[in-house]
Amino acid sequence: MHVHILGICGTFMGSLALLARELGHTVSGSDAGVYPPMSTQLEEAGIALREGYAPANLEPRPDRVVIGNALSRGNPEVEAVLDLGLPYVSGPQWLAEEVLPGRRVIAVAGTHGKTTTASMAAWLLESAGLAPGFLIGGVPRNFGISARLGALDAPFVVEADEYDTAFFDKRSKFVHYRPEIAVLGNLEFDHADIFDDLAAIERQFHHLVRTVPGKGRLLVADGEPALDRVLAMGSWTPVARFGSAAESPWRLELEREDASRFRVIHQEVVQQEGQGASRVDEDAVVDWPLTGAYNAHNALAALAAAHACGLDLARGAAALSRFETPRRRQELRGEVAGIQVIDDFAHHPTAIAATLEGLRAATARGRLLAVIEPRSNTMRLGALRDRLAMCVAAADIAYWYQPAGLEWSLAPIVAASPVPGRLEGDLDALVAALVEEARPYDRIVVMSNGGFGGIHDKLIAALEVAHG
């Protein structure tokens, strides 16, 4: 079967392309914006990519078209699909029909940390020899690919996004997955382009909760009022909380301030089918290369999910010492004269603050320079901008980039910054300013949910010229 994917370079759709190829289909696709790591991954898999959208991309005529949620009516290729009467489907529905039936699905949901948590869960299951399948909205470096089918009898980990499914299906993507285990890691307002308020997102999360069977498991973060409200709407599945609350069955205790070492404590009464209830009381220490309390929180959720699939806690804790963050999650892109250039996907104020706080705790010498491109749909609409200034408090200097298409000025954000700030609207000028400011032992963390004009490579090259 020939499957053609519209929006193929999105992290979700690109991962679908890999799964379709692994299933034996001929796969092609088109996209308006092509940039790594997804474009590189697809090219390495031998999947034909076409830049731009046009009716000609539908030749030879595909058997089925998978349409990404970034496309809408008026797109020339979408219009051609409809006019030609080609069979089409959304990405989440294709996944639900072609890959997930018969699988034990683990869905990882939440406003932040989905990619990292899902990557950890897949790695933990892999370390236990279970050969899981997965689809993750990034490239886990422990695997080198963002999706694979895995063994048919193994769990399948899916990053469960609350964004809408397609122009013809406005439900959240995750309602298609019907997981047996659902992780709800956090919940706050985002995606202002499709949700009016937090209550609207909470309703979508409750739709996910409704799909988890009674024999399944809901792993829900403690200390999250929005998630409390979701569960208050009704729950028909056993719930286990995780976090730092003393009464939570899964909790962690930091043994180092930067969260590079922490203890996981699991204490609960578990109902065993046909065997009655049993008391679980166990703990293990995680000593790993990652930092940041939010990463420890993600690891706790992943351990709880993998434990529900039979993973031994001590073995899981040991496996985390070999975990590598996904691409674009605190990824060290290069180091020149002791100056590190770090890439991170953070684009929401909460995520930006957490990333900087984690790096600050792990920075023993030198300064932390934050470089931020607010380009998400939520940022473009101006939602949450009143929280942007304070989110850089853990940095020493904040550099803000005013991207094309951002119709409101970042100048008030820079003026209100708790740390010295600088605003640039020209990428080359931004790189020059960073090179002039940076000195040995500084860490420059670049935060954006897009390609940021290739700033990482440009910055590293400029630093090599200046300090080589």
Q: List pLDDT tens digits, range 347-360.
A: 678 778 888 887 78
CB-facing half-sphere around the CA of 65: CA atoms within 13 A: 26
Is the model's pLDDT at 232 over the cut of 70? Answer: yes
Instruction: List 363's β-bridge partners, or say none.
Output: none
Residues 6+ apart with CB under 8 A from 141: 324, 325, 326, 327
Report for 263-277, 309-323, 382-396: range of highest mean pLDDT: 309-323
Domains in the chain (CATH in brackets) are 2-90 (3.40.50.720), 100-320 (3.40.1190.10), 331-467 (3.90.190.20)
Q: What is the pTM of this model?
A: 0.79
Q: What is the mean pLDDT of residues 2-27?
A: 93
Q: What is the mean pLDDT of residues 385-406?
A: 82
Looking at 220-336, list the stretches that DSSP marks H as alpha helix, in order from N- to C-terminal side. 225-232, 293-307, 313-320
Q: List pLDDT tens digits, range 266-316.
A: 988 776 666 666 777 799 999 988 888 888 999 999 999 999 999 999 999
Place of tokens 């595909």: 62
CA distance linking residue 305 with residue 183, whole number of Å: 7
The torsion angle over the Cα atoms of residues 41, 126, 280 and 252, rounded to 10 degrees, is -40
CA distance linking residue 294 with residue 355, whole number of Å: 8
